Amino acid sequence: AYDDEDITDDFTAFIQPLESSVQNLRQQLVDGAHEFVDRDLAFMSIVNIVPLHLLPFKDLLSFLNRVHREGLGANT
């Protein structure tokens, strides 16, 4: 079981790089500079190792990665 300090320590290990990577993706999309290619987005190295209870929107990030890899025609 986690106490508040354990959870805070866990967040500090991944939240800043995850936030930075998502912001970078957003800026690429806004600028029209993003390329859809068949390789994982940078943040997936973080998403893949963080447990769901610490990253409740993990499925959303995984879906964004799938769309990135398969293009905008990706099925849900």
User: Residue 50 above 70 pLDDT?
Assistant: yes
Residue 52 domain flag = yes
Residue 55 domain flag = yes
The domain of 20 spans 4-70
pLDDT band for position 5 (cuts 50, 70, 90): low
Give the residue with greater pLDDT, 71 vs 26: 26
Instruction: Return the exposure string of 33-63: e unless at least 16 CB atoms fall within 10 Å of the residue's CB, then b.
Output: eeeeeeeebebbebbeebeeeebeebeebee
pLDDT band for position 11 (cuts 50, 70, 90): confident
Count: domains in the chain: 1
CA distances from 65 to 24, 57, 73 (A): 14, 13, 13
Residue 76 domain flag = no
**Which residues, including other chains, have CB under 8 Å from residue 68's CB and lie 6 or more apart?**
34, 36, 37, 40, 41
**What is the C-alpha separation between 13 and 19, in angstroms, rounded?**
12
Residue 28 domain flag = yes
- pTM here is 0.78
| pLDDT tens for each residue of 14-44 | 999 999 999 999 999 999 999 999 999 999 9
